[in-house]
Structure 1
Amino acid sequence: MQIEFKLFATLMGYLPDGAVKNAITLDVAENTTPYQLIDTYCVPRSEVHLVLINGVYVDEAGRDRPLKSHDTLAIWPPVAGG
Structure 2
Amino acid sequence: MKITFKLYATLQDLLPAGAVKNAIEIEVPEEVSLNDLIDRFQVPRELAHLVLVNGIFHCKEDRDKSGMLKNNDVLAIWPPVAGG
TM bucket normalised to smaller: over 0.9
The runs of at least 4 consecutive aligned structure 1 residues that moved more than 2 Å come to none
> Does residue 56 of structure 1 match 2:56?
yes
Gaps of 5+ in 1: none
TM-score between the two structures when normalised by the length of structure 1 = 0.94
- When normalised by structure 2's length, the TM-score is 0.91
For 1:71, give the aligned amino acid.
D
Q: 1: distance between equivalents of 2:7 and 2:29?
A: 20
Q: Provide the aligned length of Structure 1 versus Structure 2.
A: 82
Deviates most, 41-50 or 57-66: 57-66
Same amino acid, percent of matched pairs:
56
Please tell me the root mean square deviation across aligned C-alpha atoms, in Å. Answer: 1.0
Q: Given that residues 3 and 26 in structure 1 are in contact (C-alpha distance below 8 angstroms), is that contact kept between their aligned partners in structure 2?
A: yes
